[in-house]
Amino acid sequence: MLKVNHISFGYSKNKTILENFNFTLKKGEHLCVMGESGCGKSTLLKTIYGLLDLQKGNIFWNDEQVLGPKNHLVPGFDKFKYVAQDFDLMPYISVSENIKKFLSRFYPEESEKRTQELLNVIEMNAFANTKVKNLSGGQKQRVAIARALAKEPELLLLDEPFGQIDNFKKNTLRRNLFGYLKQNNIACIVATHDKNDALSFADKLLVIRNHKILVNDNPKEIYHNPKEKYVAALFDDVNEIIINNEVRLLYPHQIKITDNSNLSAKIVNSYFKGNYWLIEVSFNNQTVFLKHSSSLKKGELIHISIKNHLNSK
Ligand SMILES: Nc1ncnc2c1ncn2[C@@H]1O[C@H](COP(=O)(O)OP(=O)(O)OP(=O)(O)O)[C@@H](O)[C@H]1O
């Protein structure tokens, strides 16, 4: 189990980036870390991996303490693997060789088998013999993930793991990778801006705001009952509207167009989204977004009804 005990960290003394972070993660569990750019997601991953010296608190993996560079000749806890945003691959050797670098040379058959298995996970078999310098950014990112898995870490730390990968590949890769980690009982912490990493694959979601943990809970619970607009906005467009003097948070799919209600609104714009239209309306002088099956004429008057609202602020 990972125990992050009341840690604080700052790159300089007068600016704290992580303030009193306190949480645990069990073996095999998956945690997503989300929050606005610059809130400290990467910094949290680096402290957990042991790349930074804490100002307060401590971090344990079972009974072993994770120590920072001041106390460790080679920074980085050896039971963890960290895939940074800049990959750190060897450009002049092939994809296979990059993965094999982390496997024992004394067992060539096992090493080959394992390399093939990992090439399958990242769907890069066709590039096994291609030099890394000739790969695209997204392909390099996939090789970096396979290389991190080569030695079967107990905890994998991934910083924006699918940031450079196109949508089509991203979905398959997500299923392959998170499926593989679950099967092998490998814990995982993912820093991400992508709600899909959290909603479909994570056991827990930790949201950072103003350098503190705002919430750490089951992602479905957070989605259905977001504490505030900042949290709901991680998942979708969110409306913060006042009805009967009460502030309500509503996702666009929770507002419907209806034949008769006492809530009337005026169409401002329609945006094509593929399998639905996002309709912008003016309601009581507030801008509101709702989902609809077709576009609607600007200026048209409509009536809306509101489904269960999210938590009031
Ligand atoms: N090496 C460094 N020295 C000084 N400040 C740093 C350093 N690395 C990051 N910071 C600062 O620490 C804060 C948190 O950065 P961090 O990279 O952890 O944010 P993040 O949430 O991962 O952002 P993003 O979503 O944009 O990747 C930012 O204000 C950043 O400018």
Check: CB of residue 301 under 8 Å from CB of residue 250: no
Cα-to-centroid distance, 190 and ligand 1 (Å): 16
Q: Which two tokens stand for residue 3?
A: 């125990």
pLDDT in tens, 75-134: 889 999 999 877 778 999 999 999 988 787 777 888 899 999 999 999 999 999 999 999
pLDDT in tens, 47-71: 999 999 999 999 999 999 999 999 8
Low-confidence ranges of the chain (pLDDT < 70): 308-313
Check: CB of residue 67 under 8 Å from CB of residue 59: no
Would you state the pLDDT for residue 125? 92
CA distance 303 to 264: 4
Q: How far is residue 172 from each of residues 164, 179, 186, measured CA to CA in Å?
A: 14, 10, 19
Q: Which amino acid residue places its CA nearest to atom 6 of ligand 1?
A: 11
Structural domains in the chain? 2-229 (3.40.50.300), 237-306 (2.40.50.140)
Residues within a 6 A CB radius of ligand 1? 11, 17, 37-43, 191
Check: CB of residue 188 under 8 Å from CB of residue 33: no
Cα-to-centroid distance, 205 and ligand 1 (Å): 20
Q: Which amino acid residue places its CA nearest to atom 29 of ligand 1?
A: 38
> What's the mean per-residue pLDDT of the chain?
91
Nearest to 234 by CA among 248, 214, 254: 214
Nearest to 7 by CA among 17, 18, 128, 15: 18
CA distance 83 to 144: 7
**Number of other residues whose CB lies within 10 A of the CB of residue 243:** 14
Would you state the pLDDT for residue 254? 92
Q: What pTM did the predictor assign?
A: 0.89
Would you state the pLDDT for residue 308? 60
Residue in 17, 160, 197 to alter for ligand 1 test, most ligand atoms within 8 A of Cβ: 17
Cα-to-centroid distance, 87 and ligand 1 (Å): 17
Would you state the pLDDT for residue 313? 40
